[in-house]
Chains A and B, each alone.
Chain A
Amino acid sequence: MELLLDISLYGSTLRMIAPILLAALGGAICARVGIFNVGLEGLMLTGAFTAIVGNHLFHHPWLAVLFAAVCAGLMSLILACLTISLHANMIVVGVALNFLATGLTTYCLFAIFNVKGSYYDPNMTGLPKWDIPLLGDIPVIGGILSGHSPLVYLAFALAFALQFWFFRTVKGFRLLAAGEHPEAARSLGIRIDRIRYLAVLASGVLCGLAGAQLSLGQVTQFTEGMTAGRGFIALVAVMLGQNNPLGVMLSSLLFGFMDALSIRLQGYALPTQFTMALPYVMTLAAMFFFKDRAYLRQSGRIE
């Protein structure tokens, strides 16, 4: 109980979920147009690596973030091209994209920085921490909400913005239509393939930002395979959140909280393996309550 009242626990929760949330929002956009993007993990890793490369090239954190978004966006176009134009199986392409990202980032890490394992340069500047003036002054909550990197705030703002955009704007509605019933949408003159391309591109850009938060947000460093399954967790968050941006945000929060809690529990007598497995067990448990309708439809178990 004492543990749950610890304020820094919630602060670290917010930091931890930002990358997951950004990637999951990208995944949600894809899911809304009927694309199951398994490549989130690889795209995020690409973002994390290219953010460091951008930082190295331009010596400026914001240009680095931009560079990461562009690179991950380009990477996502591979997925878009293969699945949309060439009708490849999206799961196959997604898995392959993850392999490509793992291989390429490690390879380029050696090619560009001549190191293996991880790269750290003390001269690199990470993302700034924003102390929100009014918010930071509120006694308890201020400490939790203030002092994060701008990308953390962006992630949450985007969740609300996307929710509005999907359900309250014409363009958002068209996107939903393209996923809900492609035939009908096409007959109304909606260019489905273009929307799909843009959706995948958006997920690439968001994963780029997620990766940048990972490598520039806390410690300014890239480590091989540093996404460590966060892209897959994002995929779970998309599913748990039923493709609704706010739902995705809540499920990311749940996961981030479990993650932060598991790190905190390591101080207790429990073996670390149990606390580390906790987020995955909880996520699996949460899946009992939220079903993936697209999956059930496709396997012929609901109409």
Chain B
Amino acid sequence: MRHTRTDRAARTIRTARPIRLFADGLRGWIHPLAALLLGLAAGAVAIVAVGGSVAETYAEMWRGSFGSFYYTTNTLARATPIMLIGLGVALAFRAGFFNLGAEGQLLFGALAAAVTALYLPVPPAAAMIAALAAGVIAGGAWSLLAGWLDHRFRLNLLISTLLLNYIAIYVCSYFVSFPLKDTTGNAALNQTSMVDKAVWLPKLFRGMSVHAGFVIAAAAAVLLFVLLRYTVAGYRLRMHGSNPLFAIYGGVRRGRLMAWTMLASGGFAGLAGAVEVLGTQYRYIDNALTAPGYAWSGIMAALLANSHPLGTAAAAILLAALQTGGMGVERNTEVPLEIASVIQAAIILFISARFARALFRRRKARAADGTAA
């Protein structure tokens, strides 16, 4: 261990700084790109297995995701909630908290936003901001509950967040099926009434599906990057994530850190729900947020980018592109939509093997006792 470190130090001194920075930057990109290519290769195998043409399928996938301005904005609209959720998850992962409760946080955020937008008697602009805030607070509170249970009662966060997902699904489903159900229309769907048009998030381009939520998500990614990288709080959070014992020894208070992190992490997921309600669906519809798997896609985005905020945003767009591209593939070829899920999972597996190598050096010394956080 010590030997390797001196070697590396020596190399560092020899290499000129700009070159080293470039090499480091490149190294950060090579692995995800290699994983992406391997994932596409795995997808090619799957395409051949159903007798499709690889070139044609991938061409359709490209056309369906970025082929025209319309499809590009479509992809960005789909990427919006994934980005926000991914950022929240990345934040928690960076602090070493495995928050897998994005789904429940997303739902409560969406429901709270819909209710606020519908029933708060204030002017439209204020209602929009209040709805977004309500989404953040509701998502954050649900997430904070898991954090509090962990800190106060020592419940395993990973498991409690998973369980809270199911509870949130049923609670939200109850609200839109009974007290908040829209009974005016003749639709048999369980949904709230439609939010007033003045409260909708503005579209970025006329007639295109991408809305102001995308700008919010992009800004959030940059903000989170700066906070994590350049502030003391960000440093503490990252320290706790890479070595909790060291961080606690150094004076980080786990409970407080956990409360803030979980609050913010769930807040992002809640914001995703609010943005989706105000920008795309204009009401809370039962199952409309769980069916597309936004929450798990967001978690995937964070995993793909190794919890780097800007990388998470990029990964979210990539995943959204795979999904919208998959729909294009299904429309125009014999290959089913799920080719996208196969490629996504393959990419993550290849990425995790890379994640591996970074840990490997650290692990060798303490002979991998099997714990990881």
Task: Choose among B173, B244, B355, B369 the residue that contacts A34 (Cβ–Cβ < 8 A).
Answer: B369
A132 in the interface (beta carbon within 8 A): no
Interface size counted on chain B using CB atoms at 8 A:
58
Which stretch from B61-69, B114-122, B153-161 is at the chain A interface? Answer: B153-161
Give, as a whole number of angstroms, the nearest-CB distance from B35 to chain A.
11
A95 in the interface (beta carbon within 8 A): yes
A281 in the interface (beta carbon within 8 A): yes
- Complex CA–CA separation, A186 to B368 (angstroms): 12
Task: Choose among A100, A271, A281 the residue that contacts B349 (Cβ–Cβ < 8 A).
Answer: A100
- Complex CA–CA separation, A266 to B317 (angstroms): 42
Interface residues of B in 161-178 (CB under 8 A from A): 162-164, 166-167, 170-171, 173-174, 177-178
Q: Which chain B positions have C-beta within 8 A of A298?
A: 244, 371-373
B353 in the interface (beta carbon within 8 A): yes
Closest chain B residue, CB of each to CB of A99: B345
Q: Which chain A positions have C-beta within 8 A of B342?
A: 100, 103-104, 107
Query: What is the predominant secondary structure among interface residues of chain A facing chain B?
Result: helix
Q: Which chain A positions have C-beta within 8 A of B223?
A: none
A300 touches B353 (CB 8 A): no
Task: Choose among B96, B338, B357, B363 the residue that contacts A110 (Cβ–Cβ < 8 A).
Answer: B338
Q: Which chain B positions have C-beta within 8 A of A179?
A: 370
- Residues A82 and B356 in contact in the complex (CB < 8 Å), given A273-B177, A300-B248: yes
A216 in the interface (beta carbon within 8 A): no
Q: How large, as a class, is the contact surface on chain A?
A: 35 or more
- Complex CA–CA separation, A296 to B156 (angstroms): 8
B159 touches A91 (CB 8 A): no
Task: Choose among A33, A107, A273, A297 the residue that contacts B371 (Cβ–Cβ < 8 A).
Answer: A297
Give, as a whole number of angstroms, the nearest-CB distance from B49 to chain A.
6
A301 in the interface (beta carbon within 8 A): yes
- Residues A116 and B341 in contact in the complex (CB < 8 Å), given A78-B349, A87-B360, A281-B167: no
B164 touches A273 (CB 8 A): no
Interface residues of B in 150-202 (CB under 8 A from A): 153-156, 158-160, 162-164, 166-167, 170-171, 173-174, 177-178
B167 touches A277 (CB 8 A): yes
Q: Which chain A positions have C-beta within 8 A of B299?
A: 95
Closest chain A residue, CB of each to CB of B359: A87
A96 touches B164 (CB 8 A): no
B355 touches A107 (CB 8 A): no
A271 touches B177 (CB 8 A): yes
Give, as a whole number of angstroms, the nearest-CB distance from A40 to chain B.
12
B321 in the interface (beta carbon within 8 A): no
B9 in the interface (beta carbon within 8 A): no
- Complex CA–CA separation, A34 to B363 (angstroms): 14
B245 in the interface (beta carbon within 8 A): yes
Give, as a whole number of angstroms, the nearest-CB distance from B358 to chain A.
9
- Complex CA–CA separation, A65 to B59 (angstroms): 40
A88 touches B352 (CB 8 A): yes
B154 touches A283 (CB 8 A): no
Give, as a whole number of angstroms, the nearest-CB distance from B308 to chain A.
14
Give, as a whole number of angstroms, the nearest-CB distance from A256 to chain B.
16
A100 touches B345 (CB 8 A): yes
Task: Indicate the member of B248, B348, B363 with the most A CB atoms within 10 Å.
Answer: B348
Q: Which chain A positions have C-beta within 8 A of B98?
A: 91
Give, as a whole number of angstroms, the nearest-CB distance from A32 to chain B.
10
A295 in the interface (beta carbon within 8 A): yes
User: Can you list, as one digit per residue, whether each of B133-163 has a CB less than 8 Å from chain A (1) or not (0)?
Assistant: 0000000000000000000011110111011
19 contacts between A and B (CB under 8 A): A86-B353, A87-B363, A88-B356, A92-B303, A96-B303, A96-B345, A96-B352, A100-B345, A106-B336, A106-B338, A106-B341, A110-B50, A110-B338, A182-B367, A236-B162, A284-B167, A287-B156, A287-B159, A298-B371
